[in-house]
C-alpha cells in the first residue's frame, strides 16, 4: 500500500478535480476537522476558538498529523457572525471539551423587526471574527500559498436561525415571508463582510448551511427563501476572485440536490446518508465536483480496517466520476488519528490502483 502520509496535493491538482478536469493520481482527502483541531495540541474547543495563536497552532498540527488536501479555519463554525451581532456564545472552561454554542433563547432579532439600520459587523474588530482572520493570515504565512485554505462562514439560513431562533424563523416563513427574505438578505450582507475579511487575509471560503437541510426545511421553502440569497453570495464571491466554493449542508440533501446545483457552488456535498447514485448523476451532468462523506460514528468507533473498507467501496462507486472527493462528516473530538488516516490511505491506494 502507498504511504499513508503522502504530502497534500498541489493546488493545481485540487483545482483540476474541483473543476472536473483530468488529474491523474489526484484523489482529494478532505476530513472535516473543527472542534477536533484542539485535540492535536492537547487543548479544548473553547480555548482554541478564542485565541488566534492557539487556533493557528492547532491548524498547523492538524496539517502535520493528517496532511489533508485542504484546511478550514473554524471551530464552532455557526457562531461567529451571530456572536458579532450580539448573540451570546457559551464557552467551557478547564478540561471541558464541549463545543461552544449560542445560548438557548439568546437571539437578537425579533420576527417583524425593521432591519433597515441593522448593524453589519466589522470583521477586523467585532466578536471573534478577528481571531479567525489572524489565524488565517498566520497559517497562510506558515504553510505557503499552495495549500487550499478556506475560511468557514455560515450559510444565510443557518445565520438567520442563530439571529432569530429556529421556531420563530420557521413560523415567520409561513406568516411573514417578506420579512424572512429581509432577514436572509441581512444575513447575506453580514456573511459578505466576514468573507471579505477572509479573502483579504489570504483565505478562500467554505459555506456551512446545515440548518437549510431538507430534514428541517422543505425543498419548496429552500427554493423560495434560501436559493436566491445563496446564489447572490456565490456570485459576489466569484466577483471577488474566489473560483472554488464548497457548500456544506449535512444530512440527506438528495431532495434539494438539483437546487444546490443552481447555487453556483462548484463543490457540493453528498453526505453519507445521501443517495450516491442520484447525486453523482446530477453532478456529472452539471460538471460539479461531489464530495462524499464517511460516517462520523464510523470514524469515532470503527477500526481502521473497517473504515478503509467503507472508503474503498465509496471509491468503487465513484470510479467513473470526474471531480469525486472523499471526506468525512465532522470528526468528533478525540477520534483516533489512525481512523482518520484510514480514509486517506484509501484515497492514496485508489489513486495508485
CATH architecture of 11-352: Alpha-Beta Barrel (3.20)
Residue 1 pLDDT: 37
> DSSP readout, 81-140?
HHHHTT--EE---TT--PPPEEPTT--S--TT---TT-----TTTSTTHHHHHHHHHHHH
- pLDDT, tens digit, for every residue of 208-229? 999 999 999 999 999 999 999 9
Which residue reads 482527502 in cell numbers? 29
Q: What is the pLDDT of residue 285?
A: 96
Question: Which pLDDT value is given to residue 5?
Answer: 65
What the block records as the C-alpha cell of 65 is: 498529523
Four-point Cα dihedral 320, 324, 326, 328, nearest 10: -130
Is 0.85 surpassed by the pTM of this model? yes
User: Residue 79 has which C-alpha cell?
Assistant: 457562531
Q: Residues 229-244: pLDDT tens digits?
A: 999 999 999 999 999 9
Identify the segments of the chain with pLDDT beneath 50: 1-4
Contacts of 23 (CB under 8 A, 6+ apart): 13, 16, 17
Res 3: pLDDT:
46
Per the listing, cell 466578536 goes with: 127
Are 276 and 292 in contact by the 8 Å Cβ rule? The answer is yes
Amino acid at each position: 500500500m502507498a504511504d499513508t502520509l503522502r504530502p497534500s496535493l498541489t493546488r493545481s491538482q485540487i483545482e483540476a478535480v474541483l473543476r472536473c478536469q483530468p488529474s491523474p493520481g489526484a484523489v482529494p482527502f478532505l476530513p472535516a476537522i473543527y472542534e477536533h483541531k484542539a485535540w492535536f495540541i492537547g487543548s479544548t474547543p473553547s480555548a482554541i476558538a478564542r485565541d488566534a495563536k492557539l487556533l493557528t497552532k492547532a491548524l498547523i498540527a492538524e496539517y502535520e498529523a493528517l496532511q489533508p488536501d485542504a484546511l478550514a479555519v473554524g471551530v464552532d463554525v455557526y457562531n461567529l457572525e451571530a456572536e458579532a451581532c450580539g448573540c451570546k456564545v457559551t464557552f467551557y472552561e478547564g478540561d471541558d471539551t464541549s463545543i461552544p454554542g449560542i445560548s438557548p433563547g439568546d437571539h437578537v432579532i425579533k420576527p417583524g423587526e425593521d432591519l433597515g439600520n441593522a448593524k453589519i459587523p466589522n470583521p477586523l474588530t467585532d466578536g471573534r471574527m478577528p481571531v479567525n482572520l489572524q489565524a488565517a493570515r498566520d497559517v497562510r504565512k506558515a504553510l505557503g500559498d499552495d495549500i487550499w485554505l478556506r475560511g468557514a462562514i455560515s450559510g444565510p439560513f443557518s445565520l438567520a436561525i442563530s439571529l432569530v431562533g429556529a421556531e420563530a424563523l420557521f413560523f415567520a416563513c409561513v406568516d411573514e415571508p417578506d420579512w424572512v427574505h429581509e432577514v436572509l438578505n441581512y444575513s447575506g450582507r453580514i456573511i459578505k463582510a466576514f468573507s471579505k475579511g477572509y479573502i483579504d487575509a489570504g483565505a478562500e471560503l467554505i459555506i456551512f448551511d446545515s440548518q437549510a437541510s431538507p430534514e428541517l426545511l422543505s425543498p419548496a421553502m429552500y427554493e423560495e427563501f434560501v436559493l436566491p440569497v445563496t446564489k447572490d453570495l456565490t456570485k459576489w464571491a466569484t466577483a471577488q476572485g474566489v473560483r472554488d466554493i464548497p457548500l456544506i449542508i449535512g444530512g440527506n440533501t438528495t431532495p434539494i440536490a438539483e437546487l444546490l446545483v443552481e447555487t453556483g457552488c462548484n463543490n457540493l456535498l453528498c453526505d453519507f446518508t445521501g443517495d450516491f447514485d442520484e447525486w453523482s448523476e446530477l453532478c456529472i451532468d452539471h460538471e460539479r465536483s461531489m464530495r462524499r462523506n464517511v460516517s462520523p460514528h464510523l470514524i469515532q468507533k470503527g477500526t481502521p480496517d473497517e473504515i478503509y473498507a467503507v472508503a474503498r467501496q465509496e471509491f468503487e462507486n465513484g470510479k467513473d466520476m470526474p471531480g469525486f472527493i472523499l471526506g468525512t462528516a465532522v470528526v468528533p473530538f478525540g477520534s483516533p488519528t489512525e481512523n482518520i488516516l484510514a480514509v486517506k490511505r484509501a484515497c492514496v491506494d485508489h489513486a495508485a490502483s
